[in-house]
Structure 1
Amino acid sequence: MSSSASPRPARRTVLYGGLAAGTALTALGARADAAPAAPSSTGIRPFHFTASREQLDELRRRVAATRWPSEELVGDRSQGVQLATSQALAKYWRSRYDWRTFEAKLNKLPQYTTEIDGVDIHFIHVRSRHADALPLIMTHGWPGSIVELLETIGPLTDPTAHGGSAADAFHLVLPSVPGFGFSGQPTETGWEPGRTARAWAELMRRLGYPQYVAQGGDVGAAITDTLGRLAPAGLLGIHLNLLVPALGGATEPTSTAEERAAAAALAEFGRTGNSYLIEQSTRPETIGYALLDSPVALAAWMLDHDTDSYYKISSAFRGGPVAGNLTRDHILDNVTLYWLTGTGVSSARAYWESAKARAAGGPTPPPVSVPVGFSAFPGEIFQAPRSWAETSYPTLAYYNKPVRGGHFAAWEEPQLFTKELRAAFRSLR
């Protein structure tokens, strides 16, 4: 790995004197009958990002200078990310990928930052042209970012142009989780899912939304699950595409063939697929040295998540079939965002925070009291049966098994994902 200094992360400016840590939930939730807050008084500022030429040149230099490991001794991913996959990715990244194309696309979107609880929160905010649109806050996961949600913006906010009706419209808020992307990196511990969920409630209040719904997958599912348990005033319902309680060790029934298959997939992930989770939950700083020094190490670490998404992404770089929207450019848009913002280690700390919060114990969290929608995509780490979703969420109001899609469902299959959200939230309008 190169020993020269890593690129400076994006500059972030303190914009607003936010809430003190530990602010009560009742102070964060907007009343359903409250008047919308005036945007000019909320400390919300426009945002855009332009990488310097030096940053991009340094990125290509570091990719070209990669010190490669010897080839794996097996014909699958059981020893980790395959050398041929990493080399194909690096070749494309160095010689053909163009960050400026994505940067221009991103900067055409309405982006903002606001400080909440001491951290600058970056978010995209796209209001629908349809007056009765339902406000929706969607949260990305790891190793994703707002990049994985961008292709849903058009279908969700402008449904009449994408096969839907005006009654399907959403006002869309896409925040970057603290420590990810363009959001600030916390300078103190304690940013577990509950604190982020409270920040999201405050963000929606600042945006003037007295009622809204929420969606999340992966880390975003943990935050959205917690938001549903906190039930701030104005939250109408949530939708998830990863069953967080089961992933966290909750005991689920295994009496049917479907339940046993899900349990077997979850056990296999625990045996062979969760090395990233263990490292980031226990020693995020250690892996951070590699993630901040070598872009190819960062890319490999991000690819080594789950079997389904790994083989789909590997296929895209090695000349095989492309799964939905998981193209080479879209994958590298996401990895390059992590590199340019220097968030490899700060995003990994999110797992450490969650693990620390679980270890601390405390009162049993309340059940989710708002309606819950759940979409069990077939390529997810495990495809949660309806019975499992009902066990975790007694208020389950919508459940479906889409025909395609995996862990990065919104990214891979944005049209199918959009249909799921329209159906899940239709009764809450």
Structure 2
Amino acid sequence: MLDVRELRKDPEGVAEALARRGYHFDVETFRALDGRRRAADIESQELLAERKAASKEIGKLVGGGMSVDEAKAKVNERLALIGERLHSATEAAREAQGELETWLAGVPNLPDPTVPEGASEDENVEVSRWGEPPAFAFEARDHVDLGEGLGLLDTEAATKITGSRFVVMHGELARVHRALGQFMLDLHTREHGYRELYVPYIVNADSLRGTGQLPKFAEDLFRLEGDHEYYLIPTAEVPVTNLGRDRIFEDAELGEGGLAFTSHTPCFRSEAGSYGRDTRGMIRQHQFEKVELVRFVRPGDADAALELLTGHAETVLQRLGLPYRKVLLCGGDMGFAARKTYDLEVWLPGQSAYREISSCSNFGDFQARRMQARWRNPESGKPELLHTLNGSGLAVGRTLVAILENGQQADGSVRLPEALHPYLGGRAVLGA
């Protein structure tokens, strides 16, 4: 959520910044809502002062010749009227504040000044490339043909069991999928300094509001029926980031580079709005797995932390020998809560295209304000908002897709990355 104090200072400037990401910030609506809140709040304060002054008038009335009982009755009558007005004014202030907060909850984050202008992914800016796409002496197949050809991938069974956008993996393919998650966790915990977490796969609505999925993206979530307002997690970002909700971290807890967490979880998304896109195979599913990277940092460390976190996700691709490119998202293609985002796009021979496999974002204090995630600044001794970051390190299913397609051989077998061999009992080829 944006800082309402900064909004009051320069709402036109905020509107101009948000226009860079294709969002129309209605300045007049903001001023009207904020004006109602302030007017009701001022009235409440004035009535509190009037009540305080009225309670002191008994002595004056008695001194003017009125009996004590008469003075008390007169003052109590006035206090009762003030109390009724105060109750109404307080309720009006609370209602106005609630309307303002609800409205602000739908306003996206301000883009970083370095974010390029643009309305869609076509205007993202390529930053770098790593690796060379493989050149095959045969026609490249996609991961579905490869997996089904090996008898290890079954989309038909998954459709029978559940429906579309699910898969069943068998034997060695399921083992490679499991190995990928283990490899990523080991890399991030042993070499990159992340603390591994096991977190709930079900969260409450407050957690989703904290990271920005609610209220705007409710249709993309799987809500559970029952007495509690529970949801399946769309990403480990939600439970991990909410570890900071309603907390004040001491400066010593943050250490030199902030707090760094990683967690391997399933993710569940309805993929609302993506009907007809990537319906084949494992690119866009309702259930998939990710190894998530989350960081809590001091405000001044956030820019460097984004570069660091993105580099950690890149290392996974490099260790697996997968060609990829890094792009800086334009304003119109960034996620709702993001201030700045890098996407990593892996090369998929079956599509002859680079496809997103990781999105790494700096959220500034946007999520922290919603969650009241703070740290105590040792210079002032006062709590201040943390800055939060996260990224996929990586999406496990899409990484498996990339391994199948980039490692394919003429006979339909698949060469496996050397980094995975220790997790697969030394196995180097799938389908040999």
Is the pair's TM-score, using the shorter chain for normalization, greater than 0.5?
no
- What TM-score bracket applies, with the shorter chain setting the length? under 0.3
* Structure with the largest fraction of strand: 2
